[in-house]
Each structure stands twice: as structure tokens, then as C-alpha cells.
Amino acid sequence: MEYQNILTTCIYCGCGCPLYVQILDGEIVGVLPSKEHPISRGQLCIKGWNATAFVYHSDRLKTPLIRRGDSLEEATWAQALGLVAQRLATIRDESGPDSIGFLTSAKCTNEENYLLQKLARAVIKTNNVDHCARL
């Protein structure tokens, strides 16, 4: 029998509270706050306490889905990203760059958010960038 706690960072907002994920024999069994960390000082909000709830959830998406008509079909990442790139290019060319907006997320890292705004400004050439914390 193996039981341990792995320190990680809550994925739900920009506060980035550290928390422990409890692991029993390789399976996530719960969350504990980090009592020593200066950010959360042993306290979490309801999102942090449930930060791992999606991991084994039956609704969790495990592959990209592409909408075809009324149905969502499983696809590979190459197919999904290829389609997104192609449609974004078409919309930009037909309706102009400012017809597109980019919404990013506190769940992403700084670097990922930087890359998204770079994509928006340098590739699509729009300043329409916003963030889930303002939605």
C-alpha cells in the first residue's frame, strides 16, 4: 500500500493556491490544503477543494470533438487544430481580423496566455483579447 501527497497548484484561478493531491496506490483520493505555503496558508475555496473532481469524471473529454451537423465526432488533435486554423484563416480573410476575438483563461499559465495574445496580435492581427476573469 502506497499513500502520499503531491504538491501542485490549483488550476482554477490566477491566485494559484498550492494544494496537495492525496494519492492512494496511484489513484487520486482527495485534496489537502498546504498549511505552510504563504499564498493559501492552509485554506482553500470550494474550487480548490474540488480541483481534482474532473480527473475521473465520466463527462471528461479525452479527445477533441468536431461538430458535424448536429453531432460531435471524435477527432485527432491534428484534425481539430487543422480545422480551427483553416476556419480562422477563412474568417479573417473574408470578414477582417477584428471579426475574431480571443478569450483566454486563468487556468492557463502566464506563458500560455502570452502565446494566445501573440497568436491574436501577430498572426490574426487583432487586439480583441480578453480573459475569463472579466466574463
Partner 1 sequence: MSVIEQVRAHVKERLQQLDGVVALRQTVEGTAPFLFREGDNLDQLALEPQYPLAPVVSLLHKRDPAVRIGVVARGGDVRALVEMAKREQVDPERLHIIGVACTDDEAQDCRCSDPAPSIDAWPHAVLVGTPAQGAGPNPLVAEYDKMSLEERREFWERQFSKCIKCYGCRNICPVCFCESCALEDPLWVEKGVLGPPFPMFHLIKAMHMAGRCVACRQCELACPAHIPLTVLYDLMRRDVEALLGYVPGEDLGMGPPLSLTLEEAPLRAKVR
- Say which residue the cell 486554423 belongs to: 85
Residue 12 touches partner 1, criterion: CB under 8 A: no
Burial letters 6-33, b for 16+ CB under 10 A, else e? eeebbbbeeeebbbbbbbeeeeeeebeb
46 vs 78, beta carbon nearer partner 1: 46
Residues between 16 and 55 with contacts to partner 1, criterion CB under 8 A: 18, 20, 22, 24-25, 29, 31-37, 42-46, 48-49
48 vs 104, beta carbon nearer partner 1: 48
Residues 6+ apart with CB under 8 A from 38: none
What single-letter DSSP state applies at residue 99?
A: G
Site for partner 1 (CB under 8 A): how many residues?
Answer: 26
Span near partner 1 by CB under 8 A; candidates 2-10, 75-83, 87-95, 123-131: 2-10
